[in-house]
Structure 1
Amino acid sequence: MENRYNKIKVFIAACIGMSFFGISIIVLGSILPILSDKFALNTAQTTSLVAFLPIGMLIGSVIFGPIVDQRGYKGLLILSSLLVLAGLEGVAFLDSVFLVQISIFLIGFGGGILNGETNALVSVIYEDTKRNSMLSFLGAFYGLGALGIPVLLSAFLKSYPLHQIFTGIGVVMFLLIIFCAVIKYPEALQKQGFPISAGFRLLKRQDLLLLSFILFFQSGIEGVVNNWTVFYLTDFGFLEHSKALLTITAMTASLTAARLILVSLLKRFSQNRILNISILVAIAGVLLMIQPVYITSLIGMMLVGFGIASTFPIVLGIIGTKYPTMSGTAFSIALVFALLGNNILNSVTGIWLDKSGAYVYPLILVICFLIILLIYSRVKKPNQTVVVR
């Protein structure tokens, strides 16, 4: 019997999941000072607390692909959303450092699953001509989720305690999860199952590895920008901390706006041209920050946001086109590379800045952008389907 599902409702569910991922990425940074004060943590203890988020995300990114390919999307989408919700409430309400660590792990674990699964789901429900643009539309909801938490906290934290704010957020999230639970989804792509060896053989596909390495550097760039821009602007540019923070907000807002604009552009122009021009725009933004003052830094970070917006939807769209019958597993491999890139490049940047000074920050970003252009030029991009046996 044919599994009939409403494509629009499924896309809305994916957008809900992606916004939850945005929340999971940004929430810890937004409330970390509150947790540090609450538990009287020193720097080492705070760093240990933060480490549970990427660990959870990495594990979630590893496991989601084979599960959705064999078991379908609905159960895992609901479960991972509930895990993020439970983690958020745990962070707000629990009074034990150990239980808060578990809560942070759950936020990361659920978020890692949601990031991969929502992209894989949208890749499945839309055909080749719409896939990239709809993946870009989906990516805009990451920005909405990421921007929502700091906006809500800045608006209400002076009047309400954290647990009350998170209770309200939790109620809204739970209602959205109910919507996700009552609709139909596409069936699993490999209901009969597939040999584990077929999944491992994907690791030997040169085109998948090249695309995954693009996401390695792209995610690394995003991590470096989010974590080291304020340090660069305050240490080397001598900007006020509040103004430096505004440049990060401007970057996130421009990234979100760019992904909405890309929905139209990807239907009209070549994805190759868009990605190449986008990277050049991002490089121009970085160059504006070489001698940083507030205005040039603000404009530069907006250009960086616009420039990095297209990479993930275009690369994931290519992967979804090439591996339609194992898209979940292929996405899982690519997103694990992305998370590794985020962690490794963040660490390398920290070490390099410590040894050489903040002035090398733009150099690091430009090198990574040029590597992306070089790797992308080596990727075979015809819309051919790859069958892995």
Structure 2
Amino acid sequence: MQANINRNKLFVASCLSLLVTSLSFGIRAGILNRLGVDFHLNASQLASIAATAFWGFPLAIVIGGMVVDAIGMKKLLVAAFVFHLAGILLTIFAGGFWTLFLSTLLIGIANGTVEAACNPLVATLYPENKTTKLNHFHLWFPGGIVIGTLIVFFFDKMGISWQVQVAMMLIPTIIYGYLFSRLDFPVTERVASGVSTADMYKAVASPLFIFMFICMFGTAITELFTGQWVGVLLNNVTDNPILILTITTGVMVVGRGLAEPVVHKFSPAGVLLMSAIMAAIGIYLLSSVSGGMIYVAALVFGLGVCYFWPTMIGFVAENIPKSGALGLNLVGGAGMFAVSIYTLFMGGFYDRLLAKQLPEGAVLDTFRSAAAGTPEATQYAQAQLTAGPEVLRATAVIPIILVVAFTVLVIYMRNKKKVTIAGA
């Protein structure tokens, strides 16, 4: 590590940039229903807006992964600051569907650019402890969602507008932009170790990398789709659906903060298997229970998805190091792209489930915008009680598939370790 590199300040600035990313998720999840009412948007349109963040993210992270070795991590992070600033301001002054769509796209691009630079930055700063430090870095994702959902909850109680809630993201944005503009950066680990571009592309074409790439589809959907849509899906199952997200992400903050002993005891592959089992149980419980038990379900789900994202990235960094920044960012991009497609599909599926519960020929928007206490509003609320849990039950299939996949991974890594020891 170069003498002029202050890795602690770079790590703090990285955490702040990820905080802005997560605030955008937490606050948007909290105000999604409000945006639907204020701008007369149906669930499919809300899904399109939410999904835009998820496909803006992979666009940026994949492109960033391809150029970060050449242009350096600092230029990417300055670009992330510009995109975040523009997206936040456009959201505050949004006038309808298309301005919300564009602003969410800009924020998604900013979020992807942050990950494109910060994942390889953290791996480069802490080569001796990659998975643990990536968990510590990524605890700011659920941490920011906790902060964001609490902002929504308390600001709503005080009657403060959603525009002011979104404006709160400007504070950490300006701070991280200032810090990154002032600090010196190291070169990426692949560049420092002299791994060739040809070797990097060979690494991302290896069977193990392709396997992890595909598994990232499932881990990302399980964590991010459920978290982003829980307020909509369980709106009438509990009086405080946003608190479900707060509990879930609060567990994730604590879990990622305590990642070191967990990862060292069970290995990254073992952690992924345990996570898939807990996530499957958690989503099933969220779709099946009510009352106080729903908060227990949120706790189980939070434990399940806690280690997914950073451990997937950490596994690739540790076990396929020649894939470099491109490998880390392809995995992250795969996850967000999968969430964007799944969100679009499930938004339409949710609307169809609602329509099935309403009188034949009913116009869904009429029931959605009906005044409280009217027969239409009562019927719509009853339809939500059925449709939301049904979407969650369909989603629970994904972590069940992951249980099988990660069982195979654990066996493979154990056999590989035995071969390595025997060869030594």
Give the TM-score band, short-chain normalised. Answer: 0.7 to 0.9
The residue number in structure 2 matching 1:205 is 206
Residue pair 1:281, 1:307 contacting (<8 A) in 2 also: yes
Alignment partner, residue 190 of structure 1: 191
8 Å contact kept, 2:65–2:326? yes
Shift of 1:305: 0.9
1:312 alignment partner AA: W
Task: Assess if the C-alpha contact under 8 Å between 1:71 and 1:191 holds in 2.
Answer: no
Counterpart for residue 364 of structure 1? 397
Q: Is the 8 A contact 1:349 1:364 kept in 2?
A: no
Which has the larger displacement, 146-155 or 167-176? Answer: 167-176
Q: Give the AA of the match of 1:373.
A: F
Q: Do the aligned residues in 1 keep the contact of 2:79 with 2:113 (CA within 8 Å)?
A: no
**Bigger mean CA deviation after superposition, 136-145 or 340-349:** 340-349
Q: Of the two, which has the highest radius of gyration?
A: 2
Superposed displacement of residue 13, structure 1 = 1.7
CA distance in 1, matches of 2:135, 2:123: 11
TM alignment of 1:99-248, pairs within 5 A: 99-128=99-128, 130-157=129-156, 158-188=158-188, 189-190=190-191, 200-226=201-227, 229=230, 239-240=237-238, 242-248=239-245
Distance 2:199 2:13 in 1: 29
Q: How far off is 1:70 after superposition?
A: 1.9
198-207 or 174-183: bigger deviation = 198-207
Q: Does 1:317 align with 2:314?
A: yes
CA displacement at 1:35 relative to structure 2: 3.8
Tell me how many residue pairs correspond in the alignment.
379
Paired residue for 2:375?
A: none
- The residue number in structure 2 matching 1:249 is 246
The CA RMSD measured in Å over matched residues stands at: 3.5
TM-score after normalising by structure 2: 0.76
Output the amino acid matched with 1:223: L
Say if 2:275 and 2:307, in contact at 8 Å, map to a contact too. Answer: yes
CA drift of 1:167 comes to 4.2
1:296 maps to 293
Gaps of 5+ in 2: 357-386, 420-424
> Quick one: which of 262, 267, 270 aligns to 2:267?
270
- 2:213 and 2:334 in contact (8 A); partners too: yes
CA contact (8 A) 2:268 2:315 kept: no
Q: What is the distance in 2 between the residues matched to 1:47 and 1:152? A: 22
**Pick aligned residue for 2:409 from 362, 376, 381:** 376
Partner Cα distance (1:284, 1:45) in 2: 30
Amino acid at match of 1:30: G
One-letter amino acid matched to 1:66:
M
- Any conservation in 2 of the 1:5–1:186 contact (CA below 8 Å)? yes
2:360 aligns with none
Q: 2:362 maps to what in 1?
A: none
Q: Gaps spanning 5+ residues in structure 1: where? A: 385-389
Pick which of 39-48 and 17-26 moved more: 39-48
| Cα distance per residue 1:32-56 (max 9 Å; x no partner) | 3444455444555544444432231
Determine the structure 1 residue equivalent to 2:32: 32
Task: State how far apart, in whole Å, the 2-side matches of 1:103 and 1:71 are.
Answer: 26
CA apart distance, 1:349: 5.4
Q: Give the secondary-structure state (helix, strand or coil) at the position aligned to 1:108.
A: helix
Change (3 A) 1:342 1:368: farther
Contact between 1:248 and 1:301, CA under 8 Å: does it hold in 2?
A: yes
- Structure 1 length normalisation: TM-score? 0.83
Q: CA deviation at 1:342?
A: 1.9
Aligned-partner residue type, residue 300 of structure 1? A
User: In the TM superposition, what whole-angstrom CA distance separates every residue of 1:347-368 from its partner, at most 9, and x where no partner exists?
Assistant: 5656777579745447525523
Does the CA contact (< 8 Å) of 2:286 and 2:297 recur in 1?
Answer: yes
Residue 280, structure 1, aligned to residue 251, structure 2: no
Question: Residues 323 and 25 of structure 1: is their aligned pair in 2 closer, same or farther, counting only changes over 3 Å?
Answer: same
CA contact (8 A) 1:131 1:317 kept: yes
What is the match of residue 82 of structure 2?
A: 82
Shift of 1:62: 1.4
User: Structure 1 residues 114, 275: closer, same or farther in 2, change over 3 A?
Assistant: same
8 Å Cα contact 2:277-2:304 kept in structure 1: yes
Instruction: Kindly indicate whether residue 302 of structure 2 is the aligned counterpart of residue 305 of structure 1.
Output: yes
Deviates more, 1:374-383 or 1:6-15: 374-383
Choose 356-365 or 205-214, whichever is displaced more: 356-365
